[in-house]
A and B are shown apart, each in its own frame.
Chain A
Amino acid sequence: MSVVALTPDYEKHIEFRDLESNFHGNRVVYLHWEQHLSFCSAIAFPLPPSMPFGAFVEAIVKPHYNAHPDFEKIDWAQVVWMIDDEKRTPEMEKSLDENGVKHKSLVRFWTPGLSGYKGSAS
């Protein structure tokens, strides 16, 4: 145990607040559009692990980023995806889980040729 605690049995009382089992069948997934910092940070969603990646793109990714003027210019076939630290090509019909999206995974994506308002990464 690395925490210096008053009670020797501190570890027995740890309350892990964000275990996957606390999210009622969902897992937390973080999403971030690179080079578009008008969206101040990655955004978070509780999602079923069985959700197909394609549905994730349609129901989660698109509606949450469509306010940006660059959104209409996205060529979705060219998008570069990264799940946790690995660049990969997600299989759209397969689930988030099968695509390696675990509890508290971070999904980042790049849209080639688009780097924010007037190229400012905003």
Chain B
Amino acid sequence: MTAKKLGLKQRYAHMTRGLDWETSYQPMDKVFPYDTFEGIKIKDWSAWEDPFRLTMDAYWKFQAEKERKLYAVIDAFAQNNGQTGVTDGRYANVLKLFLTGISPEEYQAHRGFAYAGRHLRGVGPRVAAQMQSLDELRHIQTQIHTISHYNKYFDGLAEFPHMHDRVWYLSVPKSFFDDARSAGPFEFMIAIGFAFEYVLTNLLFVPFMSGAAYNGDMSTVTFGFSAQSDESRHMTLGIEVIKFLLEQHPDNLPIVQKWVDKWFWRGHRVLGLVAMMMDYMLPKPVMSWKEAWEIYFTEAGGALFQDLARYGLRPPKYADIATAEAEHISHQNWAIFYQYTHAAAFHTWLPDAKHMDWLSEKYPNTFDKYYRPRFEMWGQMAKEGKRFYNMALPQLCQTCQIPMGYTEPGDPTTICFRKTQFRGETYHFCSDGCKDIFEAEPEKFAQAWLPVHQIFQGNCGGATIPDVLNYYRMNVGADNMDYVGSPDEKLWNEWQADKIRTAV
């Protein structure tokens, strides 16, 4: 007798929920020790609605297919020397920022979802989190493979995992994920699954992928496409998680609200790096950060929180401040990197006249008044042979670890200084958002590994800047400093000269 083939629905049920069982040798509380301490109450795990109906074998087949297409494009890109066809050599710096600052977070996401996929008691979310965990591992792998081609030609890419763990500004995304990964599984799901993958994801991936498309980088566009169907699954998981928690018990609302507030603000701070990339680093810009914020947060996020209002959830605290900051954050961040170019693993430059006009047009309220004079002054100084550097280390925010360069809400001429006391020690913050986060969990954030303080304590290779750069494995004179005069620029100019020669 031949076995009857199962229908799709039955198959799905057997291959996901059917794999679960009630333990008998050990109590369930011992098998799942991490899913109660956060205070989240789940009455009925079976009420979880699987956000996507995918079994592991089908998942495997889809992903393999996408992989084949991606690697075909990467091969073609390499064979055709695609790196010579991007808009400008400066574009490579976008990839440096991505590979050092974002790809390692794909790996962190992989680890975090593996943890949630082990420790949530319900089989539905567990299976979904496990699949996302695999996706994230695939993301870092495809990103490394895609960008490795650029590593053959451009500086600043070779030491990305080492740099990620050590370099001062990379502690911003690193500590963001360390914070999420050292939380309980429910907070992780709200932090990364909901706040990051649902609310803020379009502000991360759309800018990088459309930036790549506008600037002729077809290989990066393709890994973006290859991750797109994964990302839409991640979004449906993120929204299902928050709805499930809010539906399960009214006591969950204040806990979830606190996490939404925290992770929105933390995400907003990390995305400041993307803001700077969009407004200053793309040779051919796509849209301004302010426009992206309006579309993807103010409008899309607004609709989302209207929908979630029926559960009693309100929009994240300080969303209004974040929106007001969209006028400033990219300019302030680029100014930070310009003056610390000697300690950055990508190149910097001043926007040229045409680019400044674009910024004036995109930021009519702020650019000409506050930021154009800064860049013009630096341009003047560079012309006189006195290129502007900041030769001291910056004060960092205890929570987000960014140099405290953001200004008072409503006053772009004054730095926003906030501080608090905990057990007789003073802690400093860039904003009320970061201060609130600290005050909710001071025991955790008092332990922050702040790069500047670590240097002073002698834990980063030595007391001088060359010692520290060596500890970072920064190839001084190649990885850091201005684009103009860099080996990257020299190589790019040679390619352009070759093109002209062959055309003649």
Contact A38/B378 with A10-B443, A122-B373 known, Cβ cut-off 8 Å? yes
0/1 string, B379-423, CB within 8 A of A gives 1: 001000010111111111000000111010000111101010001
Q: Is the CB of A32 within 8 A of B452?
A: no
Q: Is the CB of B457 within 8 A of A104?
A: no
With beta carbons under 8 angstroms apart, the residue of B373, B393, B425, B439 that contacts A104 is B425
Contact A44/B447 with A6-B37, A32-B415 known, Cβ cut-off 8 Å? no
List 10 other contacts, CB 8 Å, given A40-B405, A41-B403. Answer: A1-B443, A3-B444, A14-B446, A24-B458, A28-B456, A44-B393, A44-B453, A103-B425, A117-B374, A121-B414
Task: Write the nearest CB–CB distance from A58 to chain B, whole angstroms.
Answer: 15
Q: Which residues from B are CB-within-8-Å of A46?
A: 456
Q: Which residues from A are CB-within-8-Å of B396?
A: 44
Q: Is the CB of A41 within 8 A of B336?
A: yes
Q: Which residues from A are CB-within-8-Å of B426?
A: 102-105
CA distance A6 to B35 in the complex (A): 10
Q: Is the CB of B395 within 8 A of A16?
A: no
Tell me if B428 counts as interface (CB < 8 A to partner A): yes
Tell me if A99 counts as interface (CB < 8 A to partner B): no
CA distance A109 to B212 in the complex (A): 44
Q: Is the CB of A44 within 8 A of B446?
A: no
Tell me if B335 counts as interface (CB < 8 A to partner A): yes
Interface residues on B, range: 35 or more
A-side interface mostly: loop
CA distance A23 to B38 in the complex (A): 36
Q: Which residues from B are CB-within-8-Å of A26?
A: 456
CA distance A6 to B185 in the complex (A): 11
Task: Write the nearest CB–CB distance from B417 to chain A, whole angstroms.
Answer: 7
Q: For window 85-110 of chain B, which residues contact chain A by CB distance below 8 Å?
A: none
Can you report 28 A-B residue pairs in the complex whose CB atoms are below 8 A from each other? A2-B441, A2-B442, A3-B441, A3-B444, A5-B37, A14-B443, A14-B447, A16-B423, A16-B425, A17-B446, A17-B453, A24-B457, A28-B456, A40-B339, A40-B390, A40-B405, A41-B405, A42-B394, A43-B393, A44-B394, A44-B396, A64-B392, A67-B391, A103-B425, A103-B426, A106-B428, A116-B373, A122-B377
Tell me if A78 counts as interface (CB < 8 A to partner B): no
Closest to B423 in A: A16
Task: Write the nearest CB–CB distance from B339 to chain A, whole angstroms.
Answer: 6
Q: How many residues of A contact B (CB 8 A)?
A: 50
Q: For window 1-51 of chain A, which residues contact chain B by CB distance below 8 Å?
A: 1-6, 10-11, 14-19, 22-24, 26, 28, 30-32, 34-35, 37-46
0/1 string, B424-437, CB within 8 A of A gives 1: 01111000000000
Q: Which residues from B are CB-within-8-Å of A11?
A: 443
Task: Write the nearest CB–CB distance from B161 to chain A, whole angstroms.
Answer: 23
Tell me if A69 counts as interface (CB < 8 A to partner B): yes
Q: Is the CB of A4 within 8 A of B39?
A: yes
Q: Is the CB of B374 within 8 A of A67?
A: no
Closest to B439 in A: A2
Q: Which residues from B are CB-within-8-Å of A104?
A: 425-428
CA distance A28 to B339 in the complex (A): 22
CA distance A5 to B291 in the complex (A): 40
Closest to B340 in A: A40
Q: Which residues from B are CB-within-8-Å of A116?
A: 373, 413
Q: Which residues from A are CB-within-8-Å of B394?
A: 40-44
Q: Which residues from A are CB-within-8-Å of B38?
A: 4
Q: Is the CB of A38 within 8 A of B377?
A: yes
Q: Is the CB of A44 within 8 A of B184?
A: no
Closest to B450 in A: A18
Task: Write the nearest CB–CB distance from B363 to chain A, whole angstroms.
Answer: 14
Q: Is the CB of B377 within 8 A of A117?
A: yes
CA distance A50 to B285 in the complex (A): 52
Tell me if A118 counts as interface (CB < 8 A to partner B): yes
Closest to B394 in A: A41
Task: Write the nearest CB–CB distance from A102 to chain B, whole angstroms.
Answer: 8
Contact A41/B415 with A19-B425, A46-B456 known, Cβ cut-off 8 Å? yes
Q: Which residues from A are CB-within-8-Å of B412?
A: 121
Tell me if B225 counts as interface (CB < 8 A to partner A): no
Tell me if B448 counts as interface (CB < 8 A to partner A): yes
Closest to A11 in B: B443
Interface centre among A44, A103, A115 (most CB of B within 10 A): A44
With beta carbons under 8 angstroms apart, the residue of A15, A16, A106 that contacts B417 is A106
- The 6 tightest CB contacts between A and B, nearest first, are A121-B413, A43-B392, A120-B373, A122-B374, A42-B395, A40-B405
Q: Which residues from A are CB-within-8-Å of B404?
A: 41-42
